[in-house]
Amino acid sequence: MSKSPVRRYSVSASHAQLALWETDDPNRTNMVALYDMAPRFVFEDRDALQGRSRMIEREFSFGQKRYRITLKPTQIRAQDGTIQERFLSEREQIVEEVIRRLASKRGRLAIHHQKVRFTFSLHEVRTELKRVRHAHSYYEIQEAITLLSEVRLVIQDLDAKGSPVLSSAAFPVLGFRRKDSDDGETFVEFNPLVSDAIRLLEFTQVDYETLMTIRDPVARWLLKRLHNQVSHTRQPVQQILASEIRRDSGMPIWKTTRNLLRRVAQAVDVLKDAGVLDHVETEELMEGQKKVDLLFTMSASPDFMAKIHASSRIARENKEAFAALTSGRAPADGFAPISAPQMSRLRASRSPAAAALVEGDAEAEEDV
């Protein structure tokens, strides 16, 4: 695999939504709530083994609605030459997160036949993985991206009689640059759920550095879940059952409830150690003499609250900026082209917001 220096791409964000997706703050990335909350990954070997030669179906809740996700494995030739059936794992979770962070940099996205396309190099992905201490080889990165392009996800809205929300891979279109060749680039296209979120400005910024510092995949999922819940309720104290965390994060059903509850409590403790939570109270729920669940009452830390307030403010500013740029046009009307001078002014106007986000400045927000 080529190890040439990171290229300077000529892609220019010529549409308002793509420019508003950008963040100059390296500590932040973008989150698409339903897509990121869906239990798309197989974190435990027992689940992968149970799922061999079949699909995995999971039900989960998001925003007071019930959904089902179906994971369809793909066959891939492993490094030892054997053919294996594979789902998306923690490695793919990390690689996708890094690709999305790189795609949030200035001028990296483009519209290609009404699809959102990101052009990049494997070298820059590997460099960023090493920076956030999740190092992988070029082969492992290429394999992870291939899986993200081939493992199909089907999300259905159970409250709407199973109406499909998404039927796609994470990256439904993928092209790899040929080794030792300047002919063509490596690129992916985002799936419709992510592309629609960009077009409709229905994404929010989340703490990337903390996500990458956390080594527990369930804790990473829980951080995003808490960010979404706190931003919508504006309440720093949230309650959630261990059984909800297991179900909605995609953890498999454990044979021993005691071990499952211990594993979930471990993920909660990770967020406390990371400074996301200020305080956690745990109530044991019993059936007779048997402990059947845990109820966590979690208090978000002042730093986490400040970051959520700043993220919410930027989401509002994005919609205001879009309306000003397009004379009141609705994001649902499609990607809105803007001129180079408009792009320049927009980026300049967003610099203070990025600085405020770094500092966690929420003084202008109402205390909650």
Residue range 57-80: mean pLDDT, rounded:
92
Q: What is the pLDDT of residue 368?
A: 41
**pLDDT greater at residue 327 or residue 177:** 327
Structure tokens at 262: 């211990």
Inform me whether the pLDDT recorded for 303 exceeds 50. Answer: yes
N-terminal to C-terminal alpha carbon distance within the chain: 51
pLDDT at 277 exceeding the cut of 80? yes
- Provide the mean pLDDT of the chain: 89
Average the pLDDT over each of 42-46, 67-71, 223-227, 313-317 and give the range with the smallest value. 42-46
> H or E segment at 70?
strand 65-72
C-alpha to C-alpha distance for 118 and 186, rounded to whole angstroms = 9
The 115-120 sheet, strands edge to edge? 109-112, 115-120, 186-189, 173-175
- Going along the chain from its start, the domains and CATH numbers come out as 16-203 (no CATH), 217-300 (1.10.10)
Tell me how far apart the alpha carbons of residues 208 and 356 are, in angstroms, rounded to a whole number.
16
Residue whose structure tokens are 């203070």 = 352
Rounded to two decimals, the pTM is 0.89
pLDDT of 96-144, one tens digit each? 999 999 999 999 999 998 899 999 999 999 999 999 999 999 999 999 9
Q: Between the CA of residue 365 and those of 20, 27, 232, 309, 361, what are the distances in Å?
A: 21, 21, 14, 7, 9
pLDDT digits (tens, 9 = 90+) for 145-163: 999 999 999 999 999 988 8
Using the predicted structure, report yes or no on whether residue 324 has a pLDDT greater than 60.
yes
Report whether 123 contacts 9 (CB < 8 A). no
At 334, list the tokens.
Answer: 């499609």
Segment 219-274, tens digit of pLDDT: 999 999 999 999 999 999 999 999 999 999 999 888 899 999 999 999 999 999 99
- Give residue-wise pLDDT tens across range 175-226: 998 776 554 589 999 999 999 999 999 999 999 999 999 999 999 999 999 9
In terms of pLDDT, which residue wins out, 348 or 68?
A: 68
Kindly give the residue spans of alpha helices, DSSP state H, lying in the chain: 16-21, 33-37, 45-50, 90-103, 122-131, 138-150, 192-199, 208-213, 217-233, 242-249, 257-273, 302-325, 340-359
CB count in 10 Å sphere of residue 125? 23
